[in-house]
Every structure is written in structure tokens, then in C-alpha cells.
Structure 1
């Protein structure tokens, strides 16, 4: 995936996405001793950066593939993103969701036109059900994070940020399935000026941190974190990009995630979900590293359950 791929991807999806705002806070700058620029993907269509990758992936399909629809398995933001992107492009979206997914998420997917099939809440059941739909409908499977076209789409958020703030020293993103940080790393490499990429990851699900240490894709035995969007693991498409272009992954505790989330709500006056605040939590955790620097933070989404806030 080269610079031209990223430029073409951005031009392709521009009519279907928002160029989201970048916010700053003098108080957060003073607290960190750095200039911080927050790219607010919580203001993206359907409330998260995943709209970018979903749109690009569908647009790259042939007419025949589009006619038969797309399928994915997701209980979160990608389910909504693929449904809305498909609806915008006149394509059917089959979404496999665990039967334990919150009703509000199932309703959101259906509201965007997604055709929901429920399954048992484990990866084997999700994959089996998706495969059955692929076979029956002829639908094309699109992975939420381990897909080249999805990775390119996610990278356009950082590309937009660097167009506005070309002299960033660092960009920090949360790490879950690896699509956002891999896309961000490509954008920083091609459009940044010696811009390093840092990942923030919950200590409770630190598979990406361990994967970089061991050189192979690691998994988690437990997923006990408030950052529910970051429970997935890296894939064979995004891991090599992360190995090559990501500088470091900083692990943060649940308390640090909640404190950072609260800071964003209080100081930026915006709604962000726990997964999004992991990036700021990482900056706070290792703030000596960022002293006097210009730092971009991607607030990945704002789809938070308001009835279940941690503060």
C-alpha cells in the first residue's frame, strides 16, 4: 500500500464521509506540556472512524460483488459503519452480531439498513454464521480491521489531520484490531514530517504490545476492559505495517482510561467512548516523552452507552 493508494482512497470516499474537526484545549496542553490536536472522529457519520474504511472497502468491489451484498461480523462500530456505508452506496449489508450485543447496538445497525443475524457470543460462531451467509447470498466478507481497503480508509483520518497540522511530532491512536493504527502509520509515513506513531492499549488486553515484543500475533485470555472496542486482536494484513511503522505501544490501566475519558468530556466538551480515551491516557502516562512536542490524538468514536457511564 503506497502513497498513491492512500490519495486515491481519500478522493474516492470524500463524498461519503465528514472531514471531522480538530479541537485543542489550553488546559490539556498546559497539563501535558505539549501542543495537542484532537482529530474528532466521534463527529464522523455513525459516530466513529470506521465509516471511512467501510466505505472504501465497498467502493472497491466489482458491480457483481456489490449486487450480492457484503457481510461482516461485529458487535460494535464496524457493524454500524458497514450498514450505513452500504446503505449510502445502495448495497445490502448482512451483519452477524452476538446475541449478547446490547439491544441499542442491534437497533442502530437495523436503523442503518443492516440485515442482522444473531449467533452465539464466540468467534467460532461468528465466523461460521458469516461463512454461511457468504455461501447462501454470494456476499463478500469484509473484515472490520484486517483488510487492505479498510486500513487505507482508516488512514485518511490521519491524512486529514496532517493536512491541517503538518508539523506533528507524534500521532497517537487506540489499538484494538489494528486497522486504525496501521492506516495512521501509513499516513504518518507518507504525509508526515518525521512523525512518529504511538499506540495506546488497555493493560487488560495488551495483545498488540505483546505482539510487537514477540514478533508474532498474540491473543488475550481475558478481555476485562471498559474499552469494549479494543478487545479484538491484530491480523496478518495490519500487523506487518504496525511492526514497520509504529514507534511504541503504551499500556494504560482502567483507572487511567476513565480519567482520560473524563478529561475529554470536561475540557473538550465532547462525547467520546472509553476506547477513544485510551490514546490520551497513553500520552498522560508517558508525558515526559511528549514535552514541548506537537501531538495529534485520534478520538476514534463517540458511541457511548449514556446509561452506563463510568463517572
Structure 2
């Protein structure tokens, strides 16, 4: 009997008919220059070539499709809030986004520009989530929880369909790991349609909660986070998402901050891509263990490019 999972393959297939095509069929291409720098064959799956500059729009399209004019609230490090606000436009759905006051200003500005009500809290993402839960109860509106709401995961899973539609010759897929929607969604499809492909999840060492949980096979929380990769900086993994991750992940890796910055620099220099730190986690993993990937064909998911430019220039030394 196959392991239990929250995913339904028929729903994932059907999702492609619901998601705005602007988020679908993102570029997948070999990047020889990046591969030469890293010592392996590298293909890039570019999830930033859309109006919200991240993969999150795939999931929010499914969420909003089921709201039928109802209001919604979410906590966000920035990308989910933008995506939910974008999907709600023109669909009679009022969106409130709760974010940390320390979130990148560029992300917060875009959330406002997309018409969402933005509430800021003093604290991290998990404190923003607590406030979003309270708002949902106070107003009687839909709480959208990234990774817990299966729509956010199955939207991300359509990336896996696109990867396997290419009749893959790749050996490994490197996936940024935060709340888990991207890793569990893509991982589910790969294990079903291309089980020989290694699904490797990557998290910053400064925000290791989900990786520690995967290794312990139980929820492990942390007191704090310290990473520039704000999009994956959670302290409190969700048991339901961890259960899905345990089914599909072949390994979970932790990388240093200096490797993340080096990965961002390589993506700029060899692929012409300006990315946020979370999107460089896969490249960082190769940098830290090149022998593991030597001679292999690796797909790197570039998951977001909503970067704060002043911070980006500081990290890369005015690149």
C-alpha cells in the first residue's frame, strides 16, 4: 500500500485548467555556463517569469477559484501576499495580508500596489501567522495558510507536471524548503511520475526547523531564525506538511549564508538572473558539496525574484 498523502493526482492534473496560464509552462532550459561553474549539468526551471515573480501564483489561483467572492487573510513573508492579492483582482475577493515589519520593503510595497490591505506586526513570520489567525476569527473570513492549505501545494505541484512532461533525463531536483508547499507538491509528482529522480530539499542553516523535523521524523521547532532567506524562515513546521515531506524527500540539506550569497552571485554572473536568497538555495547546495553532484544533471528551481535591491547590492558587494 502506498504511503498516505494529502495529494490527489487527478486534482493536480485538473489544476492546470484553473490556473491562469500566465503562471504555467515557465521556462526550463540548460544553463551551460552555470553548469561549468558548478561542475555538473544544470538546468534552470524559472518560476520568476510571471507578474508576481514567484511560483506562489499557481497556488493562489486555486485558492481564489474556490472563494466565490469571500474575503481572505494570509500571513506572508511577501511572496504569498503578492500572489493572493494578484489572484483576487477582478474576482470580488478582498484580501488582507499580515507581514513582519522587517519584511523586504519591495515586497510590502507590491502587496499594497496590488490592492490588498496590509497589516504589519513586530516580529517574524510565525507571529504574523498568529495575527492572521486572529483576524480570520474576528472577521469570519477565510484563513489562507501556505503549505497547510492543499491548494497551495497542488498549485506548486503543477511545476512537477511540467518537469516530467519533458521526458526528463535529469537526475536530481533541488528545491527550496520553507513551509513545504513547493517541496511536497513537486516532490509528489516526481515520485509518482519519475521515481528515479532524487528530490533534495534545501534550507538555510539559520532557519533549519523543517529540515530538523525531516531528519527526526517528528516536528522540531526553533526559538528563532537568522537568515537573509526570509521567504523560507519559519520556526514552527506543520505536522501535516511534514508527513507529506517524509514521503517524497530523499534528503534535506542545510546551507550557510555565505553559500547563499555565492549562489546569488553565480546566478547573476552565469545565468543573468537577479534572484532573492531563497531562490539561490539549490545552487548553494551544489557549492557546498560539489562531489555529490559531479557528473549529474541537476534541475534548480528558481522560485522567486522579489529581492530588496539595496540589500541585494550589499550582499553581492555592489554587483
TM-score of the pair, normalised by structure 1: 0.91
Match of 1:175 in 2: 177
2:297 paired with 1:294 = yes
2:52 paired with 1:46 = yes
The answer on whether the counterparts of 1:166 and 1:193 sit within 8 Å (CA) in structure 2 is: no
Match of 2:111 in 1: 109
What is the aligned counterpart of 2:33 among 13, 23, 27? 27
Deviation of the 1:195 alpha carbon: 1.4
Q: Decide whether aligned partners of structure 1 residues 88 and 159 sit closer, same or farther in structure 2, where only a CA change above 3 A counts.
A: farther
Instruction: Spell out, residue by residue over 1:19-69, the C-alpha distance to the aligned partner (whole angstroms, 9 max, x if none).
Output: 22123322322333432111111213311111111111222x2xxx43221
Q: Decide whether aligned partners of structure 1 residues 211 and 74 sit closer, same or farther in structure 2, where only a CA change above 3 A counts.
A: same
Q: Decide whether aligned partners of structure 1 residues 46 and 294 sit closer, same or farther in structure 2, where only a CA change above 3 A counts.
A: same
SS of 2:253's equivalent?
A: strand
- RMSD (Å), alpha carbons: 2.0
Number of aligned pairs? 307
Match of 1:118 in 2: 120
Of Structure 1 and Structure 2, which has the larger fraction of its residues in helix? 1
The answer on whether the counterparts of 1:146 and 1:236 sit within 8 Å (CA) in structure 2 is: no
2:251 paired with 1:248 = yes
The aligned runs of 1:157-176 (5 Å cut-off) are 157-164=159-166, 166-176=168-178
SS of 2:99's equivalent?
A: strand
SS of 1:241's equivalent?
A: helix
Structure 2: tracts of 5 or more residues without a match: 1-6
Segment of structure 1 superposing worse, 11-20 or 47-56:
11-20
Match of 1:274 in 2: 277
TM-score of the pair, normalised by structure 2: 0.89
SS of 1:172's equivalent?
A: strand
Segment of structure 1 superposing worse, 15-24 or 124-133:
124-133
Q: Aligned partners of 1:301 and 1:141: how far apart in 2?
A: 23
What is the aligned counterpart of 2:62 among 56, 65, 70? 56
Q: Decide whether aligned partners of structure 1 residues 103 and 26 sit closer, same or farther in structure 2, where only a CA change above 3 A counts.
A: closer
Deviation of the 1:105 alpha carbon: 2.7
Deviation of the 1:153 alpha carbon: 0.6
Structure 1: tracts of 5 or more residues without a match: none
What is the aligned counterpart of 2:265 among 262, 267, 270? 262
Q: Aligned partners of 1:193 and 1:245: how far apart in 2?
A: 9
